[in-house]
Amino acid sequence: MKKEQKSKTALITGAASGLGFELALLLAKDDHDLIMVDVDAEKLAKAKEEILKNKSCKIQLINKDLSTCNVAREIFEAVEGRSIDVLINNAGFGVFGSFNDTDWKREAEMLNLHVITTTHLTKLVLKGMVARGHGRILNMSSLAAFQPGPLMSLYYASKAYILSFSEAIANELKGTGVTVTVLCPGQTKTCFQEVVSNGVGKTSSENKINFNVACPKAVAKYGYEAMQKGKIVAIPGNINKLLSKLPRFVSRRTATAVIRRIQEKNRDA
């Protein structure tokens, strides 16, 4: 009698919408059970319903604010010792404005989410993956990781941290059966820009620099396939690949000035 194959389990943060939701859909289609984490309980419940319309799988919902202290430990304890085969650290947000004027409380929450929660959750899940000899981790960085970003200085810096951290541990994990991929998309059509611009005047759509805006389904598919192949750095789109190399061809001062101009154009400071 053929032994029934055990379903793999994936944990996705920021899973209620955007890239997190699209990645959850792809994992469900590949017969993964899901642990979906998000701060928005209502959207999380709707996301579960949407996934179960197309695919039958076990889904555990965890409603947590990933920007709070020690939340990674709380999530890890909430999964009740389940083996995590795939970890996707997707949750994130941005804060716009001059560093001198922005709200420290909100910035501290962003740094805690991008740096502390991402790192701690990776550490907690990684030990089991290495012990079992298999596992895949996908960390969400950004095209922002490749250069400084005036008017979003801490967001750009935190995404650079995720890129560097992911590349380093990917190297450490060679030969263990565990891979780490860092996805670095450019502008993507999600609710991210609305959150960034919260409380900030918005320019009209005809004045914004909106070229090269990607579809979240396409970005998620690209990142998912890169993770499955064990690719370390995944940059979707040829234009984004070129832009990631911009600091190599112009001075960092010039690259920084270009980024500032884009930020000023896309939002009324």
> At 226, which CATH number?
3.40.50.720
3-state secondary structure of 20: helix
Please say whether the beta carbons of 58 and 7 come within 8 A: yes
Residue 222 counted as domain residue: yes
The whole-number pLDDT of residue 246 equals: 79
Residue 209 structure tokens? 């620099």
Assigned domain for 2 exists: no
C-alpha–C-alpha distance, residues 184 and 236, integer Å:
7
Query: What's residue 209's pLDDT?
Result: 46
Q: Say if 1 falls within a structural domain.
A: no
Cβ atoms 181, 232 nearer than 8 A: yes
**Contact assessment for residue 207 and residue 141, using Cβ atoms and an 8 Å cutoff:** no
Expressed in percent and rounded to 5, the helix, strand and coil fractions of the chain are: 50, 15, 35
Is 3 domain-assigned?
A: no
The 8-class DSSP code of residue 103 comes to: -
Please give the pLDDT value at position 248: 80
pLDDT at 96: 94
Structure tokens that stand for 177 in this block:
């059966």
Q: CA 104 to CA 65: how far, in whole Å?
A: 17
Distance in angstroms (rounded) separating the CA atoms of residues 149 and 256: 6
Asked whether residue 75 is domain-assigned, the answer is yes
Q: Is residue 118 part of a domain?
A: yes
Phi-psi region of 175 (alpha: psi -120 to 50; beta: other; left: phi over 0): left
Alpha carbons within 13 A on the beta-carbon side of 10: 29
* Domain-located, residue 176: yes
pLDDT for 189 equals 64
Query: Which pLDDT does position 210 carry in this prediction?
Result: 53
State the Cα–Cα distance between residues 140 and 108, nearest whole angstrom.
Answer: 19
**Selection from 1, 57, 58, 65 nearest residue 38 by Cα:** 65
**Is the distance from CB of 12 to CB of 20 less than 8 angstroms?**
yes
- Per-residue pLDDT at 269: 42
Q: Which amino acid is at 110?
A: M
Number of domains in the chain: 1
* Cβ neighbourhood burial of 262 (10 Å; 0-12, 13-18, 19+): middle
Specify whether the CB–CB gap between 139 and 226 falls below 8 A: no
- Residue 107: give the domain boundaries: 8-266
Q: What is the pLDDT of residue 38?
A: 98
16 within domain boundaries: yes
What is the chain's pLDDT, residue by residue, as a tens digit (269 residues)?
444 557 899 999 999 999 999 999 999 999 999 999 999 999 999 999 999 998 999 999 999 999 999 999 999 999 987 999 999 999 999 999 999 999 999 999 999 999 999 999 999 999 999 999 999 999 999 999 999 999 999 999 999 999 999 999 999 999 999 999 999 998 876 555 555 545 443 433 344 445 557 789 999 999 999 999 999 999 998 888 988 887 787 888 888 887 788 777 776 54
Q: Which helix (H) or strand (E) holds 256?
A: helix 252-266
Model pLDDT, residue 7: 84
Q: Please give the Cα distance from 171 to 149 (Å, whole number).
A: 27
